[in-house]
Amino acid sequence: MEKIVYLFRRLFYALFVLLGVITIVFLISHLVPGDPTLALVGPSAPRDIIEGMRTKFGLDRPLLAQYLYYLKNLVLEQDLGFSIQNQRPVAEDIWRYFPATFELVTVAMFFAVLIAIPLGVLSAVKKDRWEDHLSRLIALSGISMPVFWLGLLLQLLFAYYLGWTPLHGRVLLDVVARHPVTPVTGFMTLDALLKGNWIVFFDSIKHFILPGITLSYPSIALIARMTRSSMLEVMNLDYIRAAIALGIPRWRVIFKHALPNAIIPTLTIIGMAYSYLLGGTVLVETIFDWPGLGLYAVNGIFALDYPAIVGVTLIFGFFRVIINLLVDFCYFFLDPRITLESGV
């Protein structure tokens, strides 16, 4: 019973933060100099649509009224404005481009966790030896390296010179044309897998490699560092020594006694890493021509498609809040010490 109350409290808090995010985004979009309709519709939209927006969002009313209109339109109708890039409501565009980004981000997250945690453990166990220094250097370079530069270099090396991976794009268009994918979930790779469409599936996988690695690199750094410091802290604790004193071999103590404890604070970092990943999509999708939300936003910048940019920011903020919520839930299940009192 306690657990359920805890979950509800976290849920309410998340909703509250979500409201805050919406508010912040709203305020930012009102920084647009000049006509506020620009934030919702862009300057070169058809006349009638502009006027329609003006009334619908109450743009001739005071700020607070506008805010309420904005909220109402957002929640009830999912209306985020009109995108001039594709002459469609922003919400539709987002719906369309979302799967590609989601797949990319998920893959990148997998890479990151799979590589970073062992790296962090290695670093901690071999503290101050060359393995540690090397790992730390790799990790450090992850948060120092400009993601876009890394992507370009990888493209140059692996796609252009070595020809091992495709240069860009999510999947070769003619491949998809010849082997069409029936949408089941909307996620192309998953759909291809489910329907046994191996050709598209493998092609898709090939396209994931470079953007996935590029995107995940800073997160690898972040997670590895946290894992390292967390492990170091845990390994100094008494119960580790007590476990060794009972004759449990060292490697087993590291992986089965220390790591489960060390992972817990790392979870928060994984949540933060999601932020990096989401932000990074803007750069990675641009370089690799990946048809996702990031590319949509960047294109929006040049087209002065403000509602698109604002919409993407909102969606990403939304996802971040959800991820945080999930992390909280995970904490709850992983650490038996978390009870009602220690929540929030």
* Closer residue to another protein in complex, CB, 76/162: 162
d(CA 3, CA 342): 12
Shortest distance (Å) from residue 199 CB to another protein: 28
The single residue among 202, 334, 340, 342 that binds another protein, judged by CB under 8 A, is 334
**Contact 122/135 with Cβ under 8 angstroms?**
yes
The binding track of 156-195 with respect to another protein, each residue x by CB under 8 A or -, is: x---xx----------------------------------
Find the binding residues for another protein in span 290-329 (CB under 8 A): 297-298, 300-302, 306, 309-310, 312-313, 316-317, 320-321, 324
d(CA 221, CA 120): 9
Instruction: Please tell me whether residue 340 binds another protein under the rule CB under 8 A.
Output: no
Q: DSSP secondary structure string, 13-79?
A: HHHHHHHHHHHHHHHHHTT-SS-TTHHHH-TTS-HHHHHHHHHHTTTTS-HHHHHHHHHHHHHHH--
The three-point CA angle 140-143-146 to 5° equals 125
| DSSP label at residue 155 | I
Shortest distance (Å) from residue 318 CB to another protein: 9
In SS3 terms, 165-217 reads as CCCCCCCCHHHHHHCCCCCCCCCHHHHHHHCCCHHHHHHHHHHHHHHHHHHHH
The single residue among 66, 85, 106, 141 that binds another protein, judged by CB under 8 A, is 141
Residue 88's beta-bridge partner residues? Answer: 83
Find the binding residues for another protein in span 207-266 (CB under 8 A): 237-239, 241-250, 252, 256-257, 260-261
d(CA 66, CA 105): 34
The single residue among 280, 285, 296, 328 that binds another protein, judged by CB under 8 A, is 280
Residue 204 burial by Cβ neighbours in a 10 Å radius (0-12, 13-18, 19+) = buried
Residue among 326, 327, 301 at smallest CA distance from 312 = 301
Instruction: Using the rule CB under 8 A, give the single segment among 62-70, 92-100, 182-190, 330-338 that binds another protein.
Output: 330-338
* Closer residue to another protein in complex, CB, 198/239: 239
Instruction: Please tell me whether residue 276 binds another protein under the rule CB under 8 A.
Output: yes
Find the binding residues for another protein in span 98-137 (CB under 8 A): 133, 136-137
* Closer residue to another protein in complex, CB, 199/301: 301
Instruction: Please tell me whether residue 147 binds another protein under the rule CB under 8 A.
Output: yes
The single residue among 12, 23, 164, 186 that binds another protein, judged by CB under 8 A, is 23
* Closer residue to another protein in complex, CB, 180/249: 249
* Closer residue to another protein in complex, CB, 30/96: 30
